[in-house]
Amino acid sequence: MSRLKIKTIEDFQNDGTSPETLFWIGCAGSFDDRAKRITKAFVRILNSANISFGVLGKDESCTGDPAKRAGNEFLFQMQAMTNIETLNSFDIKTIVTTCPHCFNTIKNEYPSLGGNYDVYHHTQFINKLLEEGRFSIKGGTYKGKKITYHDPCFLGRANKEYSAPRNLIKKLDAELSELKRCKSKALCCGAGGAQMFKESEKGKTEINIERAKEIKENTSKIVATGCPFCNTMLTDGTKSFEENKKVEVLDIAELIVKAKDL
């Protein structure tokens, strides 16, 4: 695949300019094969809307969220302060990210450590572009198709953002078909709180399998979400579905890219 047009903040500095926003890619978006595709989809959207954005590249480091939620406040604050130093040294004002965990941490937990930024989840950012008339979404591909949406805990309950992703699905002319437990009552995918990195405790079933049952009851063939971790968990949880029940788990950015053929 061809390389996408990206610039690091350093590149901008060398040109003597600064970008409109920083795209914080996150560890999953940088290293996880599935999540990399989400990163690319969002870059395509930014490029097609002619947004000047920068990335940190090798200057980016884990926000510290999994360490904090595992209980390692030391490691978290070390990460946070290092990142804040980097961000402040580049005079970053606006941050957009495709990961709700990075979003939550930078938005809510960095300010009291000296990091104050305007932080957007990519679904919020795309909505903003739509409102400002800088980007448009065409239905076409998904017209009349049923899409269901899984609320990531760290975007939904944690930050009360339920409408931005839903609004984008509606813009695709798709029929949004809600899961039984949705919005503030949504069931977790099982990855949060550092669970992604460990085996789960003994129980009757896995959380992503429990969520997958609900997805199966809903007859949509596409499951949209807005978190690389939810994406992995739900892809795993739904992969045992029989051939005629198969679903595709896609990030909202990927849906938009497909619809617009970017």
Partner 1 sequence: MELLPNIIFSVILIIALGFFVINIKRLRRNINFGKGQTETIDDSPQRWKNMIRIALGQSKMARRPIAGILHIIVYLGFIIINIELIEIIIDGIFGTHRMFSSIGVLYGILIGLFEIFAILVLIAVLIFWTRRNLSRIKRFYETKMMGWPKLDADLILYFEIVLMSLFLLMNATDVEFQNMNNGNLISGLIYPFFEGFSSETLHILERSFWWSHIVGILIFLNYLYYSKHLHIILAFPNTFYGSLENSGKLNNIKSVTNEVNIMMGKTSESDTLDDINFGASDVKDLSWLQLLNAYSCTECGRCTSSCPANITGKKLSPRKIMMDVRDRIEEVGRNIDKNGWFKDDNKKLLGDYISKEELWACTSCNACVEECPISINPLSIIMDMRRHLIMEESSAPNELNNMMNNIENNGAPWPFNQQDRLNWNE
Residues between 68 and 107 with contacts to partner 1, criterion CB under 8 A: 68-75, 77-82, 104, 107
Residue 132: what residue type? Answer: E
**Could you give the residue ranges of the DSSP H alpha helices within the chain?**
9-15, 26-31, 33-48, 65-70, 73-89, 100-104, 122-131, 163-171, 207-217, 228-238, 252-260
Write down the least CB distance from residue 54 to partner 1, Å: 12
x/- contact string, 105-144, with partner 1 (CB under 8 A)? --xxx--xx-------------------------------
Percentage helix, strand, coil for the chain under 3-state DSSP, each rounded to 5: 50, 10, 40
Q: How many CA atoms lie within 13 A of 250 on its CB side?
A: 20
Write down the least CB distance from residue 250 to partner 1, Å: 18
Write down the least CB distance from residue 261 to partner 1, Å: 20
Q: Which of residues 18-47 bind partner 1 (CB under 8 A)?
A: 25, 27, 29-32, 36, 39-40, 43
Q: Which of residues 51-70 bind partner 1 (CB under 8 A)?
A: 55-58, 60-62, 64, 66-70
Write down the least CB distance from residue 151 to partner 1, Å: 10
Nearer to partner 1 by Cβ, of 129 and 209: the residue is 209
Residues paired with residue 225 on neighbouring β-strands, in sequence order: 251
Least Cα distance to 54 among 103, 9, 106 occurs for 9
Write down the least CB distance from residue 122 to partner 1, Å: 15
* Angstrom distance (rounded) from CA 170 to CA 143: 10
Write down the least CB distance from residue 138 to partner 1, Å: 26
Q: What is the CA radius of gyration of the chain?
A: 18
Nearer to partner 1 by Cβ, of 137 and 191: the residue is 191
Q: Which of 124, 195, 218, 238 binds partner 1 (CB under 8 A)?
A: 195
Nearer to partner 1 by Cβ, of 103 and 142: the residue is 103
6 binding partner 1? (CB under 8 A) = yes
Q: Which of residues 150-169 bind partner 1 (CB under 8 A)?
A: 153-154, 157-160
DSSP tag of 140: G
**Could you give the residue ranges of the DSSP H alpha helices within 150-206?**
163-171
Task: State the number of binding residues for partner 1 (CB under 8 A).
Answer: 74
* Angstrom distance (rounded) from CA 36 to CA 46: 15
Nearer to partner 1 by Cβ, of 31 and 241: the residue is 31
Q: Which of 92, 99, 174, 191 binds partner 1 (CB under 8 A)?
A: 191
DSSP tag of 202: S
* Structure token digits, residue 247: 């679903």
Nearer to partner 1 by Cβ, of 77 and 141: the residue is 77
Q: Three-state SS for 176?
A: strand
Q: Are 257 and 44 in contact (CB under 8 A)?
A: yes
Write down the least CB distance from residue 134 to partner 1, Å: 23
